Structure 1
């Protein structure tokens, strides 16, 4: 709907509704002013309205040449103001700003992406309960109302539909505007959606196919609120049917227009593009332009400070859904799988932060924004990214053995000297902070809860380290959901040297989706993004993640099951003759010291039971993941057989 011919058709429709040659009206007539423009003069002055006028979802930012032409047209029409409504913030608005236009926040355009089965997608976005309710309401409505889609080009054969549409909408969407659209270039791609009971029209909408042939714009959808069917959430029910039909027809998206993000999210939208209205009016002054990207962190490796985010990831916030994309050199004849994954994960980041904040011990997460978050291909990928982006050859990396071995492995691969400061204490949960600080590392990596031990370092020591080190502190919280002690993730907004790593592979049960999360201040996230390979987070993974994140209750319940089984197994193993000691655990596994370690490990392998042999890190030990009851009983039987 950003093609000049389409925008011109919408402008002609507005002119028809206004009964004028030029689209000049007050902002109050456009219904754009309420809650946005508070000055009474601004609301009621004659205004030249351009772009996609009052109907379209967005207006492309005009060029300097276009702006000059707008100014001349406004003078000729006697309009004191000029409005360019609904411009994407990702567009180049330099010409508007230079000509004295002022931006005013206008919400977001909202898109439902159909990259999979509609029910599966909506279950992931709305949750199973909301989807089931929507489908139930749909069945009730379908028994009562008919469903018709009438091509706009053939509306002369159904004049009742035109009249009913105008009656339900009123205002600028009157019969004259609709008739103008019937004779425009949009007519062949447009149709009225009508639901009626007998001869009585209960709902009417206007759908327009995109010029790329890949999507559908829902430009209007009005319901008779006095009709009993309205009580069945008819708006959402009809949109659900639009999604189903669009997916059946091979379309990739449905555009819901401008709106408030939370409301449209409840209708299935998963892409939200921030918009501004740009107004040129007497006495208005533009505010200072905010920086478009965060400055990289002071910890960034020198080569990374001078490079941009690679390839198309630079434009991750620029919507591509409504473009004719001839830039990617892919095969267009083999379906959706031939397209690269979505790069804009802003809404998924918001969903993650909101969902995880519902779990115990996650205070402060819901106060972070998407700028504090980077999705990676598992948390281990995030370790490689941060070492690449934030450390230079020769910078020391401190680790605390026994710990996850890939920290030191990645550091050595990148020519970063590794300083080992072992954990102390009987439960291996004491940090030697004095020695760690004396090593003056550029990066210190803590595994908390620790893998393979399962214990957590003293929080006071962790806070001391963060406060006094000159370098970065990375806390890998892969297992933190199994702990009754709080996460450090909410602290990243307070410390520019703190990075917290999370994963959906453990408590969230999505190891196959390969989704890691780095949480840090925007300057660190920007540096990591500059070395990240684009398109590593697949559409399939994004769908799986979104579906799991709306199912927090089941995740919380499964964590409870694991903790109960962990405690049961810890008690049974502690009494088993093959076991010398069971270490305390804040994770979903147990570190066990064995009598006759090699013999027991051989017997377990022979019995087809696989546990992690970590005897090279901690003598005579193995790490046992908590499985379901059947798997755990099999392990206990195999241990007994090893006596």
Structure 2
């Protein structure tokens, strides 16, 4: 909960649960089975602690102000309590006041959020897969046959004493199952909540099997009216598998309820990230408990800004990251945003895109780390990644951020023409050092190094040749060059050779560009990715226009990244069809040569080039005519079998 008044209300609930006018207890009583304090000294865990500035209940708390912390310290001194705990603060908040007051972060579980961007079943199908969705729906149907679903507004709880008693009983049993940790939802706590300021926004969820209550929980609507916090759930069953099944079914039912009510998200509370991801959660916000205790030393400050790269162009060094992009790591799903001057009356498209892409960056890195040829990518973090509006946008950003007018840019034709195009627009002299070798896979490293370019841009796998560059030559450029080496890996997923992304953490002059337009099938989402050392990424952010990565694109990317099996299956199909087409074209009398390909296209040298191109155009087939770059050639994208067969037939007609 991001409103101080709501946190204050939950503080009163905690005091009632503890049977004390002030929220004072040991950390052990608050742990509730999460093990957050298990690494602390036993004396610290058992010592009386004043809980303030936040709530140990599920919603996270805004970092308290310096004034609020001063009040908290004075209160602890008055009570004679030696320790202070501020629980569940988002790591992305400004925590400087907490550090200044002598509090130390203790890592807690992340809070887990499900964002409802469309119909529930469609969202879950893309996030967790059809098989798991079918299992979730089946479990919901099975549960619903014998178990009711009831919602009781907490302000009206006095009229349902049976629900109150069942809630209290189930939560007492749950606390007993968790090794006797404190029951933070006993009768006194529930009564204070039911008669407090949150009562009108909070409902008690009850599931009954005949006359017996088997599940009871609390949900509350956020103060911005756009989502639901799940405060607690207790299930009356000794079998953990049965409890998990009923919990999952109820979460699914909660999604449906939220969507029907026009809400945009469901906050599931803190929890195990893999488990919550399997339930459809797509936003995970890291939390810390902040503790002040005698003798507790503060660790090295985490999350500090990385120093700007020495490769940043002089104008970039003197400017900050622009405007709201400075707060890109701050999730704002549960705040009221009155800062953006947008129209609130025309739906969600009237809002600016989310800037909190840290979780999405982590998901991308974790996903590609499982792919062949990507060993070592798990050493990268979200600080090593920038999302752009397609990888072409990434080229423009890096040239603007890392090169000054007059500094040379080296390209290696045949290559993607927009590298040189953008360099010319930015008044950067372009040095062309052509590829050589039968397969156009050899670099003239001596000429490139002699040119001493500020930036060398390599396309690997190459477009339009389709071949991979010699890795030893690429390595020589990275190690021996004084400038930056940029490797555009738009087609790397189709290759059986490794990605250079694994080397990012080892070289401060290496940038790898990726895209989701090719193998991932998201050309319309316009998602490019730059991987580099954090100091370079910071320089790119200072040039990038905020809000270029739209919400629709973010949703599409997030869903596709959770459907890797489908992507890999598509890559296998393209490779198989590529091999079939390469074989057929090699034997075709209209074709002089088919270059080896590690992409989703074939580079072909033709007999009677102009005649063949005219015939293809007449057949309604468009291929890339590369004859001006390499005489008598074209580049043929691998389509589906029908399209590829049509191309072969059209080629035969050209003879």
Shorter-chain TM-score range: over 0.9
Of residues 47-56 and 538-547 in structure 1, the stretch that sits farther from structure 2 once superposed is 47-56
Q: 1:487 aligns with which of 486, 499, 518?
A: 499
Q: 2:258 aligns with which of 237, 246, 249?
A: 246
User: Partner residue of 2:446?
Assistant: 434
1:478 counterpart SS class: coil
- Larger CA deviation: 622-631 vs 356-365: 356-365
Partner of 1:36: 37
Match of 1:425, SS state, is coil
Match of 1:203 in 2: 215
How far has the Cα of 1:89 moved from its partner? 2.1
Matched, 1:542 2:554: yes
1:64 aligned residue (58, 63, 66):
66
Runs of 4+ more than 6 Å apart: none
C-alpha distance in structure 2 between counterparts of 1:536 and 1:524, whole Å: 19
In structure 1, the gaps of 5 or more residues are none
Counterpart CA distance in 1 for 2:612 and 2:263 is 58
Superposed counterparts of 1:147-296, under 5 Å: 147-170=149-172, 171-226=183-238, 230=242, 233-290=245-302, 292-296=304-308
Per-residue CA deviation, residues 223-248 of structure 1 (Å, 9 max, x unaligned), is 12237992661112111111111121
Instruction: Give TM-score, length-normalised by structure 1.
Output: 0.97
Structure 2: segments with no counterpart, 5+ residues: 173-182
Larger mean CA deviation between 413-422 and 603-612 belongs to 603-612
Q: Which residue number in structure 2 is paired with residue 606 of structure 1?
A: 618
- CA 1:95–1:566: 2 relative to 1, 3 Å: closer
| 1:81-96 equivalent positions in 2, closer than 5 A | 81-96=83-98
1:582 to 594, 612, 615: 594
Match of 2:606 in 1: 594
> What is the number of residues matched between the two proteins?
643
Give the conservation status (yes or no) of the 8 Å contact 2:626–2:633: yes
**CA-to-partner distance for each residue in 1:137-184, whole Å, 9 max, x for gaps?**
111111121001111011111111111111111212101100000110
TM-score, structure 2 as length reference = 0.95
Paired with 1:511 and 1:68, the residues of 2 have a C-alpha distance of 53
C-alpha contact (below 8 Å) 1:499/1:518 kept by paired residues: yes
Secondary structure at 1:192 match in 2: strand
**What displacement does 1:64 show?**
2.2
Structure-1 residue corresponding to 2:137: 135
Q: Distance in 1 between matches of 2:188 and 2:209?
A: 26
Conserved in 2, the CA contact under 8 Å of 1:108 and 1:261?
yes
Is 1:314 aligned to residue 316 of structure 2? Answer: no
The 3-state SS of whatever aligns with 1:204 is strand
Q: Superposition pairs for residues 335-354 of structure 1, below 5 Å? A: 335-354=347-366
> Distance between the aligned counterparts of 1:207 and 1:596, measured in 2?
72
Task: Compute the displacement of 1:370 (Å).
Answer: 1.3
**Residue 262 of structure 1, CA deviation:** 2.6
CA RMSD of aligned residues (A): 1.6
What are the superposed Cα offsets for residues 301-349 of structure 1, whole Å, 9 maximum, x if unpaired?
1111121111211101112111111111111112222211111112222
Change (3 A) 1:34 1:359: closer
What do the CA deviations read for 1:25-79 (whole angstroms, capped 9, x no partner)? 1111112683425211111111111133322522222222222211221122221
How far apart are the structure 2 equivalents of 1:348 and 1:445?
A: 27
8 Å contact 1:202–1:227 — kept in the other structure? no
Tell me which residue corresponds to 1:146: 148
The answer for the alignment partner of 2:532 in structure 1 is: 520
**Residue among 453, 466, 490 paired with 1:478:** 490
Shift of 1:546: 1.8
Name the CA distance, whole Å, in 2 between partners of 1:563 and 1:243: 39
Q: Is the 8 A contact 1:141 1:229 kept in 2?
A: no
Match of 2:379 among 357, 363, 367: 367
The one of 97, 111, 130 equivalent to 2:99 is: 97
- Counterpart of 2:5 in structure 1 is 5
> What does the per-residue CA deviation read over 1:501-558, in whole Å, with 9 as the maximum and x for residues that have no partner?
1111111111111111111111111111111111111111122112222222222122
